């Protein structure tokens, strides 16, 4: 994989911090990635072996590696837990993935319950999304998360300030709510 742009937090994954580059810079570590996603100053990717790695700004636990709140990492580091992921998605300050056994896990800031579990303000390690629903895909917004179940239904959780969860009368949810009308 190659990255370019701002490297303040090591988000280019080239083993260094700082600077801006407009030329592609090779991500160190020798991993072959099949799925790469970019959040706010951090990157996560899935390898051909379905292992997840993250690097860049680590505030709020968004790298999923159990490090302290402000730890930044300038090279790919494995996401804690040993899960095998089929896909990942990143928001501004949280990340989620669907495993090969169709379970959703999220980590990072848990503002408005967007990790899908009432666990507190953040998680530095992947936590399972509540409800035991099998998911095939997942997408993240700034303060909400949505996913498609194995049965083809849409579910969302987190902030619903402007209808992001596909529901009325709900301000936020820490658990997946089925999207009405699909």
**79 pLDDT higher than 80:** yes
Helix, strand, or coil here: 5? strand
- Identify the structural domains of the chain with CATH numbers, from first to last: 2-178 (2.130.10.30)
Residues 84, 100: contact at Cβ < 8 Å?
yes
Q: What is the mean pLDDT of residues 50-71?
A: 88
Q: What is the mean pLDDT of residues 72-87?
A: 96
Residue 176, H or E segment: strand 172-178
pLDDT of residue 6: 97
Q: How far apart are CA 66 and CA 123, in angstroms?
A: 8
Residues 53, 43: contact at Cβ < 8 Å?
no
Question: What do you get for the CA distance between the two ends of the chain, in Å?
Answer: 37
Q: What is the pLDDT of residues 125-155, one digit of tens each?
A: 999 999 999 999 999 999 999 999 999 999 9
Q: What is the mean pLDDT of residues 111-125?
A: 93
Judged on CB neighbours under 10 Å (0-12, 13-18, 19+), 95 is buried
pTM: 0.95
pLDDT confidence bin for 93, thresholds 50/70/90: very high
Q: How far apart are CA 87 and CA 139, in angstroms?
A: 10
**182 pLDDT higher than 90:** no
């Amino acid at each position: 994989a190659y990255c370019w742009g701002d490297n303040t937090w090591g988000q280019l994954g080239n083993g260094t911090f700082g600077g801006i580059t407009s030329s592609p810079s090779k991500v160190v570590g020798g991993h072959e990635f099949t799925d790469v996603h970019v959040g706010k100053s951090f990157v996560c990717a899935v390898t051909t072996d379905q292992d997840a790695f993250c690097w860049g700004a680590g505030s709020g636990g968004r790298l999923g590696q159990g490090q302290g709140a402000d730890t930044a990492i300038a090279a790919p580091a494995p996401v804690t837990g040993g899960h095998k992921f089929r896909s990942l998605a990143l928001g501004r300050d949280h990340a989620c993935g669907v495993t090969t056994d169709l379970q959703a896990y999220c980590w990072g800031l848990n503002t408005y319950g967007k990790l899908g579990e009432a666990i507190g303000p953040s998680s530095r390690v992947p936590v399972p999304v509540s409800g035991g629903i099998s998911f095939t895909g997942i997408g993240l917004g700034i303060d909400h998360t949505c996913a498609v179940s194995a049965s083809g239904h849409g579910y969302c959780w987190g902030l619903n300030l402007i209808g992001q969860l596909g529901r009325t009368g709900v301000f936020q949810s820490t658990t997946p709510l089925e999207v009405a009308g699909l």
